[in-house]
Chains A and B, each alone.
Chain A
């Protein structure tokens, strides 16, 4: 808790957003009533082992609860794994809640069982990436890092 009372003058030429990459924070969430949490927990560990801070929500969260948590935790990414087939309505609602909270800078990354025919609906809901079930750890980590690199710090 011995905080930095940062008395040095901020250097105007190097805005903080570009200074350090910063610690990436990800909310790993389970939406709706789907109890399959094996994948979500494996992803949480992968991201932790890649140096990210992962806030895990636990099961049975509504889109509104997930967005409220994401805002309080000021995460860069919401990762949602869904295997219950209800991804289209739930991601639509998640996207609506994010817009309502003016938090569209938070990326939404989807995983789980999502058939390709539903991709377009998810893009319309504001989903930024869909990670295939067989993805390797490195692919998941790179996806998140490159999204944030493209956006910049907020």
Chain B
């Protein structure tokens, strides 16, 4: 069934033609428009005005209702009326104690979920005393070496009561094992643990560029994690499919969604191929998107993504449970859009992007600190970021009506156009042999690098405006005196001292034995590596040791040459 009757559409077309001839022509004769053509950031042409005639071809079923297939209008039937989105600011730096203190401050400020950033050595499976970790320990996130560090990170925080997001990727399965071990040590009910691991390996190879192993073993580790977590910790999302990073590395909105859906398909094929029913794990797949600058495009992106995902799960994977088709998304505002010049402007940018995410129907959100173009945010900046979300949630009444822009001629047309373009990209991935193969070949990497350079050239030529940078430049405005979050120089030594204490006090023969067993298991593709990993972390094997044991088996990833 279509949204409008054919006679109504005919009538609108006639009246529009008359308007174009009379009012519009007169206005254009008076004063031409500023640009010859208008388009979204991702290149979809925009009309001057949209009418019912522009969405006459869209069946009503494509919109549906909130919390029902195809989920265009929202993931849940009551959306923010039932539960507002979770304010989830990510934090992590220094030793576990330092991050733990920040968590307690943020909970006190009104944050409703925790989110952890790890330092680069932890992400890459290196211990703090590894030579390759030189200068990096505790910089961009918290340093984790052993299970005890995870215990310190959440000291005094009841993990049965608060959901925890862990931004961990190549070494995700080890940190998950540590998290489970800590929960068991504290006597928690594992079925009550709630939270999300990022653990999206394919996007690492194409975007965030943190990797340990070649592509296929990395996907296998994710498969093991998804399958283990579905049974042991059913309220934990074992993966957050991260379009955010695809955008961060240069992708446009269409590439963000299409590529991440291609990865979703690859992961689902991997897990179902191992014998698990789609409905046994798909409800726990979660997503992470950016909310970028093109306001309406971004809102439509969220709506289109929900629809595409629902169709993939229903049609391609024959899911039966509605929860398997429901896309839930955590959103972060666009760090790329922040400027060092006149950095207070970043507050406005972030607020608008956050509003877009809410109108697009996000489930949780991180708003960037205004100083994030300088360093990791200070407490003051984080507080302003949390306040931004609270103002949107509690002061301006945008949460009472679900999908308030739904039915707008423009919004529905753009949602539909974006969906069409996303399907085209997905078809191309299928034709070229699927996501895993294309990641190995560097196909996505090349597309994203090309897109990044094109965007740079647009900014360089002044076609894409950045206020204060290439438009309305105030020569007098100096780079700000911002208070930078201090780095604790003692952090590395403390981690190293602790590591050495652990290695001196544990049963090293047993650790060696467990690592040997783990490597042996990794050689055969059909053993789940999680149980043995959990055993190893309980015996105080370090994150670096575990990752190294499997590197012996699988080798290291070699980057393709893409510039």
Contacts and interface: CB of A to CB of B under 8 A. Distances in A.
Asked if chains A and B are in direct contact (CB within 8 A), the reply is: yes
Interface of A: 32-38, 41-42, 44-46, 56, 58-60, 62, 84-86, 88-90, 93, 113, 115-117, 132-134, 136-137
B208 A35 contact: yes
A142 to B, nearest CB: 14
B405 interface: no
Interface stretch (B352-360, B406-414, B452-460, B537-545): B452-460
B452 to A, nearest CB: 5
A20 B562 CA distance: 32
Contacts of B131: 62
Contacts of A84: 120, 136, 139-140
B484 interface: yes
A145 to B, nearest CB: 17
Nearest to A40: B563
A56 to B, nearest CB: 6
Interface stretch (B56-64, B299-307, B370-378): B370-378
A27 to B, nearest CB: 13
B90 to A, nearest CB: 15
Contacts of A86: 135-136, 139
B210 interface: yes
A113 B374 CA distance: 6
Given A33-B136, A84-B136, A44 B250 contact: no
Interface in B456-489: 456, 460, 466, 469-470, 479, 482, 484, 487
Given A38-B452, A84-B139, A134-B339, A33 B120 contact: yes
Contacts of A115: 374-375, 482, 484
Given A45-B453, A85-B376, A56 B134 contact: no
Nearest to B204: A35
Contacts, number: 91
Given A35-B210, A38-B249, A38-B449, 10 more contacts: A32-B134, A33-B210, A35-B208, A36-B209, A37-B249, A38-B248, A85-B140, A115-B375, A117-B484, A133-B340
Interface in B417-460: 449, 452-453, 456, 460
B208 A132 contact: no
Contact of A34 (B120, B375, B456): B120
B449 A32 contact: no
A93 B374 contact: no
Interface string B207-244: 01110000000000000000000000000000000000
B316 interface: no
Contacts of A46: 456
Contacts of A62: 131-132, 134
Contact of A85 (B139, B249, B456, B559): B139
Contacts of A60: 132
Contacts of A37: 209, 249
B183 interface: no
Given A35-B208, A134-B341, A59 B140 contact: no
6 contacts: A33-B210, A35-B210, A42-B456, A90-B135, A113-B375, A132-B479
A80 to B, nearest CB: 13
Contact of B563 (A33, A34, A56, A89): A56
A36 B140 CA distance: 12
Contacts of A132: 340, 479
Interface string B351-394: 00000000000000000000001111000000000000000000
Interface in B530-563: 559, 561-563
B39 to A, nearest CB: 22
Contacts of A34: 120
A38 to B, nearest CB: 5
Contacts of B559: 58-59
Given A42-B452, A84-B140, A33 B132 contact: yes
> Which of A34, A44, A86 has its CB near the most chain B CB atoms (within 10 A)?
A86
Nearest to A56: B563
> Which of A38, A89, A137 has its CB near the most chain B CB atoms (within 10 A)?
A38
A56 B218 CA distance: 26
A31 to B, nearest CB: 9
Contacts of A38: 248-250, 449, 452
A132 B466 CA distance: 15
A44 B136 contact: no
Interface in B132-167: 132-136, 139-140
B343 to A, nearest CB: 11
Contact of B469 (A42, A113, A116, A134): A134
B373 A113 contact: yes
A112 to B, nearest CB: 11
Contacts of B470: 134, 136
A41 B452 contact: yes
> Which of B135, B210, B456 has its CB near the most chain A CB atoms (within 10 A)?
B135
Given A37-B209, A38-B452, A86-B135, A137 B341 contact: no
Contacts of A90: 134-135
